Structure 1
Amino acid sequence: MSAVSVIGRGITSFGKKDESIKSMLIKACREALIEAGRPKVDAVFVGNFASGALANQEILGSVLANELGLGRIPALKVEGACASGGLAFRQAYQLVKAGEYKTVLVAGAEKMTGMDTETVTKAINLAMDNDSNEGASGLTFPGFFGVLANRYMYEYGAEKKHLAMVALKNRQYAISNPIAQFRKETSLYEIMNARPITDPLGLFDCSPISDGAAAVVIQQGENGVEILSSGQASGTPLMQEAEDLLHIPATYESAKRAYEAAGLEPKDIDVVELHDCFSMTEIIAIEELGFFEKGKGWEAIEQGLTKHGGIIPVNTSGGLLSKGHPIGATGIAQIIQIVDQLNGHACNQVGNARIGLAQNLGGTGAYSTVHILRRKGA
């Protein structure tokens, strides 16, 4: 089994865009292919959650292969809720590493702003187990993570201001990211007094509805940023089946598998992009990924340990909260930020970053992928 590297990347801006999902995908893919030196592509994998419901377009793999003139190569769409991009990347990586393909184009996209709020909300809620009493009761993602936030504050003494500090940190990073959806300065006061969504989460604590696309080219060899490992795990989509509301097993297990496969530990990681669909999710994730003890994540946030100069800079892109969250594109966009960090030309560059980690979550913990990458020659 050979080394596998990311040799090209392309990404659109995130936010409300007057473009089709096809147009955004083609733009990101062309940029990635040009940066990779226009290699012969053996297969196409596209991460996407709801292009049929939200963009009136399926068969994204075939559409891309045809529009890019790649020939009659294998192409497919991968769906795993918000982890669709990470899952597409993992499948491509495994097949390249196994020798099935030499070069694969991996893309992700979502067009979410073209429909009314009710339609978008219904589509997003398809990522929950709706054939259950939780579905019948109308449980939503803000509702689920609001429950987690209340429970976390009760158990460990955190406060609403610690959620706001996550949102503020990520907004401050997004200001320097040219593709980010939200680049306007804000304050802790504004975040804490924003329109409530579900107690204790306010507007800034929730990732936005976004459009956007991202793409990478991966290839056998060591000609780019090397993919050291890939971990994946799943978990129950039902709150009532969770043994511990403050433990997301899929995140923990996917990280464990990725660390073991890479022969690394959390202390070896220099920069992280993780799935902050809500501010509370970031606090739980930094614990599940092993960077801080359980119940201590809020203290790390308060002490600035997840920023430049701390123990581990987290979501230097601005994260889902401020960079934006076009669902299918998110996992690939996380990989791109890590690749840029390891290549030394990212927004909010971390000094001497050698090893980076990207974690992509689907649903309320139904899926999680973790990828660990290393700078070329490191």
Structure 2
Amino acid sequence: MALNTVFRIHKEGSSQSLTTAKEPIPVIDKHEVLIKIRAVALNFRDIAILAEQYPLEVKENVIPCSDAAGEVVEVGSLIQDLKVGDRVIGSFAPAHLYGPALDSYLAHGAPIDGVLREYISLPGTAVTKFPSDSKLSFPQMSALVCTGVTAWNALYGNVPLKPGQTVLFQGTGGVSITGLMLAKAAGAVTIITSSSDEKLELVQKNFGADHLINYKKTPDWAAEANKITNGLGVDYIFENGGAGTIEQSLSCIARGGIISAIGFLAPGKKGDDFDVTLGALTRGCIIRGILVGSKQLLDELVRFVINKGLVPPVEKTFGFSLEEVKAAYAYLQSGSHIGKVCITLD
């Protein structure tokens, strides 16, 4: 029986750790394809799951991670639009084909086993193929699965972004940098925040951010955003902070604008009783929770990226050994990155 290396999250006592094992390569059915994984992209979600801080369901002894790119090595008898050798990515939640997530959200790496392994079987309906002439690397492809679809959903999943509108991104992580790349390609005006001037300068140089705000030097970054927009406010906000930043987001969102609740990196202060409902009402804005997005959004994103010649922002790659994977997790958790941190299986 052919085996492949699989990572799992093992709980012992009060702590969890990454472990490896040799397990059988999946056997596909007639509706599935077998993919040899070549790269995996990490997300803050993966850090939260390992630290037992993720707010949604996580199965015991789960295979972590949700974002993978690879090559099709076997095709089920009823699959007609995929073939051996195709370069592909799998969707974040295999059963989420279109529209909002409904009864349950069975996403890789938490309620169902994820992609940090050598081989995975997926339904053909959960796989997106890249053109044969695409120059994107496997790490760059993998960076689109969760981060890319989250950013695309924030910009196009409700009221589509229009050229000339303003988008504010909190922080320089993968979702913000990918969103910045997409928004710039769509003709938007972009604002990005960080606590590091060095990071801000790199983001402006490498990704073309229009306006920079250091929130350490300018704690009232919302006032600065209002100044940049001549008092009109920002049309779209990537709300990556959560409870600790939502008040400022609501004070600089444009009338009728959209705040996409994406992350929870900045906890609220103890005793903070800010009224989010009243804030949203007085601005006439939308606060919209983003749970990544559907296979339909993934397909739209890939077409946009290919047609615009965009390159997803991968900052650093690590190997597939236990030591290297742990180092990749640690690097992501350090916050030193700009863009995506990936693991390669070459």
Instruction: State if a TM-score over 0.5 links the two structures.
Output: no
Over alpha carbons, which structure has the higher Rg? Answer: 2
Flag the structure with higher helix content: 1
TM-score by length of 2: 0.26
TM-score by length of 1: 0.24
User: Which structure carries more relative contact order (alpha carbon 8 Å, separation 6+)?
Assistant: 1
